[in-house]
Structure formats: C-alpha cells, structure tokens
A and B are shown apart, each in its own frame.
Chain A
Amino acid sequence: MAEEKEWEETVEPKTDFGPPHYSIMLHPVIKNNYGKWKYHEVVRPGVIKRVAESGDVIYVVRFGSPRLLSIYTVRDLCDIADKYSDGYLRFTSRHNVEFFLTDPDKIEDLIKEVQEKVGFPCGGTWDATKGEYGLTNIVHTQGWVHCHTPATDASGIVKAVMDELYEYFTDHKLPALCRISLACCANMCGAVHASDISMVGVHRKVPKIDDDAVRRTCEIPSTVAACPTGALKPDMKRKTVILDKDKCMYCGNCYTMCPGMPIFDPENDGVAILVGGKLSDARYPPQLSKVVVPWLPNNPPRWPEVVQTVKKILETWAAHAEKYERVAEWIHRIGWERFFELTGLEFTEKLIEDYHRTPYLYTTFRTSAAFRW
C-alpha cells in the first residue's frame, strides 16, 4: 500500500522570500517607542528597566540558556512569554533569552516560573553605572554534537565551566566585562579570537594521510593551498600529497578541505586557553586574544583542568582589576610578567609567535571605530 504523502511533500516550493519582517515580531510597547528611548537602568541582576520618551516603561528580563534547546523547551518558553510578556520574547547575541514585562510586580513570579519550568537562571547582565558586572553566557559552537572537525567538545565544557562560575552569572560580582567564549577547533566559529577568556580546541599530531581517500575525494591543488605553512606538496607520481612533518603545526585546515587527511587524536587533542581579547571600543582599543596555556587535555565529562584554569584566570583578574578594567586593560597596566606571576601560569617557548604568514602591515591598520574627526 502506497503511503499517503504529506502536504509538505507535494506543495510547490517557494523561494527568496526572506525572514519575517522584524516589525511584526515586536511587543506593542517596543513598537510604539521604537527609536524613542530615553534611558535604561539596571534594576538587579537579570532585570533592565527601559524608559521611553513617551513615559512608557518596559522591563527586559534576561535568562541564561544552554543554546542547544529542544523544541519542548522552546514551547515552555512560549507558554511563559504568553503568560508574562504578551506573547513576545527575544534572544540575545550571546544566546540568552529575554522577556518583556510592563508590570514590575510580575518580575519575581516570572523569574521563579522560568527557574521551575526550564531551569534557566535569571542574570547575565551588568551595570556600567555602578561598575558591577555579571558574567554572561559562553558563546560556543557544535563540538562533538554536530561537527566533523572539532578537537574538543563545546556544550560539555561550557556546562562544566558555567557550573563552576554560576555565581558570577546570577550576580554582579565582577569589576568589568568578561566574555568567555569557546571554539571547538581553530576555525574559531564565533568571536573566540577576541574574547577576554577563550578556549580553543587544538590538535598536536600531524594528519594521517589516507592516499586512497585523497585520490578518490580531494582536489589536490586547493588542499595544498589550504596549508598555511606550506607543509603540503603534491605527489605527482602517486597522485596524492606529501606532508613535511617539520612544517606542520596541526591546524587541521587540510582536513577541512580533504577527507583523506584526518587529524584527530584523542590523547593529544585538547584545549588551548587564550586571554585579553576585546571587541568594544570603550576605553581601550579592540584586541585579538593571546594564548597563555598552549594545551590542556580533553577530560570529559567535566574537563577539570580546563575549568580550573579558566576559574583561576578569571578570579585572579577579578581580584586585581580596577573598576571597568577588562582582562586586556588589566594586563596592559600590570604587564605580562606580572600576569603570569599572579595567575601561576607558565610561560614557555610555545607562547612565542611563529605564525609568520600574517603580514606585519595588519598591525598598522586601525582595527577600531575610535578615531578623531
């Protein structure tokens, strides 16, 4: 018996209509006061009061989320939004979720209900006026949940780190902004290369070349061109590639290009820790993050070495930094000598730059929107 087709299988495909227009997704108070806001005020961790020129007030209440959500949790969030924020909600650029309340008396009920129903904590905010900062969500990637090139997992480490640093999310306990980010490989999906503290999955062994797979599936010239150190050469005779092991620093870009160059190695893959990246222009120019720990092992499910190192860096910085002084600014004041001394991290030759491919000219370009008219 032929199975009956669903309408989705027989309907005419429709293309190029784009996302919904944002205006139909806005809470009426937000729509009415669009572009006409007077000021905001952080009421308590997780709760931001926004006052419009019209006199309208809306409370934006923020909750941490694991980013990977089941549709059943999204539906729970919808139930809560229907009850408390008139059927509207939004997500932030760091995967938190926000509700909009017009009645401040309902804030505590909302916080309680979100905690009970989906277990999401209220927080992830900061208050620049007082100079008291919460730790917000960790931007992260797919890891072993969905990617084929990771050197580490993403969701697992994020959970382990946030469990340990939970109190910083729900309260404003830090002297300045501190963004923690994680990328599961050197492709660095996300802004891991410009975060206060970042974790990046790294390999430490050369790829194992599977000549058969290279012949079957790889376009050799573009695979060779993908190697940043010129460690790959075409092997014309055998119709494959040769690797100069001395030139390879295990970036994994050749495996991205070519299934015949698998590079993962469970005992040697792991996590590098970087610090001092910064994106906003406030006070101090944007910075790329810098490696301070070359490698820590993958130790699922709790990654204790990674968690303890991140915690150590965060708490050392928090104990010594002045108000508003982000990790990069703190290091700028005290110097790298003192940074390694205070954090107890070891400086080794592995931390001295040798990625000679990046042109020096880049350091002269203005990587910031801060300049004088």
Chain B
Amino acid sequence: MTEVELPETPLLDELEKGPWPSFVKEIKKAAIESEKAMKAGKKIKLPGAAKGLLKVLELSYKDKRTHWKHGGIVSVVGYGGGVIGRYCDLEDKVPEVWHFHTIRVNMPAGWFYTTKALRAICDAWEKWGSGLTNMHGSTGDIILLGTRTEHLQPMANALAYLDKFYGSPAPFDIGGSGSALRTPSACMGPALCEFACYDTLDLCYDLTMTYQNELHRPMWPYKFKIKCSGCPNDCVAAKARADFAIIGTWKDEIQIDQEAVKEYAKIIDIEKQVVEKCPTKAISWDGKELKIDNKNCIRCMHCINVMPKALKPGKERGATILVGGKAPFVDGAIIGWVAIPFIEVKKPYNEIKEILEAIWEWWDEEGKFRERFGELIWRKGMEEFLKVIGRKADVRMVYAPRNNPFIFWRELNP
C-alpha cells in the first residue's frame, strides 16, 4: 500500500509530543485513514479535507491569526439553523477547505451512545465530510467539522435515515444555531447519579421534541439556551451557560442514614471535612449522631457530596429555575439568578412549558435585535418579568433588597 503524503507541519508536529492526547494526531489520522479508505474503494467525497485543515492550521500557527472568513449563510432544506457556514481566506492555496462548514447534530440526552449509533454517524461523515468531529460542542451537540455546501443536504439526509441505511438504532436530527432555541442538554442525572432530583434526561428529551420548530427555525431576537442539572452541583454548568437553567432541588429534609455516617466517621474527619465547611452551619456531629437543621440548610450539596452513602436529597423534589445566564456580550457576563424558587418537574412538564412559552412570547414582542433574554429583564425590570410568568416576587430572588428608594409606583400613575 502506498504511503499517504502529509503536508509539512513543523509547528503542529511539536504538538504531537507530550503525554496528553494530541489533536494534531487526530487530524493526521483523519487525513491518512480517509485517503487509505478511498484507495480501498470506499465512497469518500472529501478525502483532502483533513489534509487541507492541517495546511491552514500550520499557516495560522505561523501567522498567529485565523484564516477563516465571515461565513456565508448555509442551511439544509426546511431548517434555518444547525449549520454554520465557514470559508477559508486561502481558497487559492488550499482549495480543499475553501468551504468548511460545520453541522451540529443533536446528541442523545446525557451523551449516552451505543456503538452502533456512533459507527453509523462515522460512516456517513466519512462519506460526506472531513472525517473530523468534536465530541462535543460546548452546548452539547456532536460537531461535524468541515464539509462543502453541496454535501450539507445529503449528509442531513444520511442522518435522517441513519437507522435505515447505516445501522443506527435511530436517526439523528440537526441541532440548533442562530437566533433559535439551541439544543437543550442535561447532566447524566438518574441514569447514573444518586443525587439527581428529577429526570434530567427525560425533561431534556421532552423539551427538545416539544420545541423542534423553535429549535430548527430561528424566529427570536437572539439565541435561547436550556440546560438541565439534576442537583445544585450543576454538572452541565447550566447557570452560567443557559438562559433558562433548571436545577434540581428538594423542599424537605436531607435523608440521613446514621449507621452509614458512623462508617464514614472511621475514615474521614466529619467535623473538619463536613461540619466546618457547611456554609450556614446547619449540620452538626457529636460523634454519635449527625443532625441537620433543614430550616437553615441552603442545599449546597457539600455534606451529601462528601458522604454519599449516608446522605441523600429529600423526597419532595423539583427544581429551582435560574434565568439569564450568558457570556459577556453586550451587557456583561451573567450567572443566572433565581426566577422560580421551586417548580415541580413531572411529566408532561406542563408548568415548565407554560413558563417557557410565556417568556418567549414576551421576549419576541419586546426584545431588541440580538438582545438576550437576561438583558431584556435588566431593561424591563423583574416586576414586568414576573407578571409575564404569572409569579410573585420572592426574597429568594435576591441576595439583598435594593439600596435606593427610586421605586416605580405604576399603579398610582396609570
């Protein structure tokens, strides 16, 4: 078999050294293996794409700048989002990546896969794309990295019939991009975690299916992200990365297994590692019995994290909803804040859906171009927002009351 020739990449080659798995090796592997597969008779539309990416990236390392241009708008039939157009500014030098569009593919909730599903995606992407992926993009989607405009629709079709023709247990749909509902994501929740306060995977799947239209066809002022975390450990970073963070919680007492606590007392220093670290000093340990003042507990999870065999979230479970989380542009980065202290999370999730739909209607009516939902609340005020979602103000929404008397008395000044 003839050797596959790779472009010279002295700078990138440096990043094949060292113990951490190398992304350069991944790109080279795609370049070599796709060419080999093509020579072996496999149908491969873009055998030079990974090689082209190596060339462009080596130039970026030399020039210390990107070589990607502002993308044109590309899509698949029937959708307005999910595909990010990308063009190289070196089309003469590296024509094989002149188009290098990304397709976002909606992952299964919690990123659980069978090998049949993954192999099917690989086979389709080997045929229609660069053979490069991100597992996963930050929002959660599978990122198919690099294809040409004319291959977008065939690849979307391959994904839509992945079960029929590629052996996947189910087809895969495109995820979100643009001014739309983005792909919701969830922590592993009850599939693996004993802390989960609601079924994150099911809620994530249900919202994704309920709002397919909002996800595929951008219709809003800007993007809107939903993330589902099963407990306040927030293992999908929902409160920083989602406009609508659904964070599992409970209302009653932490469940204590005193015998298991005693077992922990043999191997850890409960006083030092648990009691002293409790943010509200709600927990105490006298060497015999662990007590929790649940009125004072703020459900931070620390004691449960340290003693998972002995402590469990309470039984009256639901979620706290934090709104507004986002990155800096334009009004500054936001960690979401409390909008709904407690909401039930029970199929078919009507209460959550009513709130989402009320928010979207208001934001679509009032939001400016590229104004995130959190910024709209800052502009309009919490009072108006709470009216929209039909909820009352609650002291749990703030760290502190206002420090000035400049209050709107709209009811007196109609």
* A positions within 8 Å CB-CB of B: 6-9, 11, 13-22, 24-26, 30, 34-35, 37-41, 50, 58, 60, 64-75, 77-79, 81-82, 87-93, 95, 97, 118-121, 128-131, 139, 141, 143-150, 153, 155-156, 158-160, 162-163, 166, 169, 186-194, 217, 222, 225-226, 228, 251, 253, 256, 259, 264, 266-267, 269, 277, 279-284, 286-288, 298, 300-302, 323-324, 355, 357-359, 361-373
CA distance A39 to B264 in the complex (A): 13
Contact A95 B135 (CB under 8 A): yes
Least Cβ–Cβ distance between A78 and chain B, in angstroms: 4
Known: A91-B111, A269-B64. A366 touches B337 (CB 8 A): yes
B183-194 Cβ-contact flags toward A at 8 Å (1 or 0): 001011011111
Contact check: which of B77, B305, B338 meets A128 at CB < 8 Å?
Answer: B305
**B125 near A: Cβ within 8 Å?**
yes
Least Cβ–Cβ distance between B164 and chain A, in angstroms: 9
Least Cβ–Cβ distance between A303 and chain B, in angstroms: 10
Contact A324 B309 (CB under 8 A): no
Contact A269 B65 (CB under 8 A): yes
Contact B169 A301 (CB under 8 A): no
Which residues does chain A contribute within 8 Å of B155, judged by CB atoms?
8
Least Cβ–Cβ distance between A99 and chain B, in angstroms: 11
Contact check: which of A22, A130, A217 meets B108 at CB < 8 Å?
Answer: A22
Smallest Cβ-Cβ distance to B245: which chain A residue: A369
**B298 near A: Cβ within 8 Å?**
yes
Known: A24-B170, A159-B20, A357-B332. A67 touches B134 (CB 8 A): yes
Which residues does chain A contribute within 8 Å of B289, judged by CB atoms?
none
**B116 near A: Cβ within 8 Å?**
yes
Least Cβ–Cβ distance between A186 and chain B, in angstroms: 6
CA distance A301 to B233 in the complex (A): 35
Per the CB 8 Å criterion, the residue count for chain B at the interface is: 166
Known: A64-B20, A119-B21. A19 touches B65 (CB 8 A): no
Contact B160 A17 (CB under 8 A): yes
**B114 near A: Cβ within 8 Å?**
yes
Which residues does chain B contribute within 8 Å of A6, judged by CB atoms?
43, 127, 154
**B232 near A: Cβ within 8 Å?**
yes
Contact A371 B341 (CB under 8 A): yes
Contact A286 B337 (CB under 8 A): no
Which residues does chain A contribute within 8 Å of B160, judged by CB atoms?
13-15, 17
Contact B190 A279 (CB under 8 A): no
Least Cβ–Cβ distance between B140 and chain A, in angstroms: 8
**B300 near A: Cβ within 8 Å?**
yes
Known: A24-B169, A74-B133, A88-B112. A324 touches B277 (CB 8 A): yes
Least Cβ–Cβ distance between B391 and chain A, in angstroms: 15
Smallest Cβ-Cβ distance to B396: which chain A residue: A371
Contact B296 A280 (CB under 8 A): no
Which residues does chain A contribute within 8 Å of B247, judged by CB atoms?
369
Which residues does chain A contribute within 8 Å of B21, judged by CB atoms?
64-66, 118-121
Which residues does chain A contribute within 8 Å of B61, judged by CB atoms?
144, 153, 156, 300-301
Contact check: which of A82, A194, A259 meets B335 at CB < 8 Å?
Answer: A194
Known: A129-B307, A156-B61. A193 touches B115 (CB 8 A): no
CA distance A373 to B205 in the complex (A): 30
Known: A226-B330, A362-B332. A282 touches B240 (CB 8 A): no
The number of A-B residue pairs with CB atoms under 8 Å apart is 456
Contact check: which of B117, B169, B301 meets A281 at CB < 8 Å?
Answer: B301
**B393 near A: Cβ within 8 Å?**
no
Contact B341 A300 (CB under 8 A): no
Using a CB-CB cutoff of 8 Å, which residues 86-126 of chain B contact chain A? 86, 100, 102, 106-119, 121-122, 125-126
Contact check: which of A74, A159, A187, A283 meets B277 at CB < 8 Å?
Answer: A283
CA distance A64 to B19 in the complex (A): 11
A and B contact pairs by CB, cutoff 8 A, 8 listed: A9-B153, A14-B161, A35-B196, A88-B114, A118-B21, A120-B21, A129-B307, A283-B279
Known: A66-B22, A147-B68, A371-B396. A364 touches B402 (CB 8 A): yes
Smallest Cβ-Cβ distance to A65: which chain B residue: B21
**B66 near A: Cβ within 8 Å?**
yes
CA distance A15 to B146 in the complex (A): 22
Which residues does chain A contribute within 8 Å of B402, judged by CB atoms?
361, 364
Contact A16 B108 (CB under 8 A): no
Contact B161 A39 (CB under 8 A): no
CA distance A371 to B395 in the complex (A): 9
Smallest Cβ-Cβ distance to A256: which chain B residue: B329
Which residues does chain B contribute within 8 Å of A82, judged by CB atoms?
115
CA distance A264 to B126 in the complex (A): 34
Which residues does chain A contribute within 8 Å of B205, judged by CB atoms?
18-19, 21-22
Contact check: which of B134, B138, B307 meets A68 at CB < 8 Å?
Answer: B134
Contact B100 A90 (CB under 8 A): no
Using a CB-CB cutoff of 8 Å, which residues 144-192 of chain B contact chain A? 145-146, 153-158, 160-161, 165, 168-173, 185, 187-188, 190-192
Which residues does chain A contribute within 8 Å of B102, judged by CB atoms?
146
Using a CB-CB cutoff of 8 Å, which residues 302-361 of chain B contact chain A? 302, 305-309, 320, 322, 327-338, 341
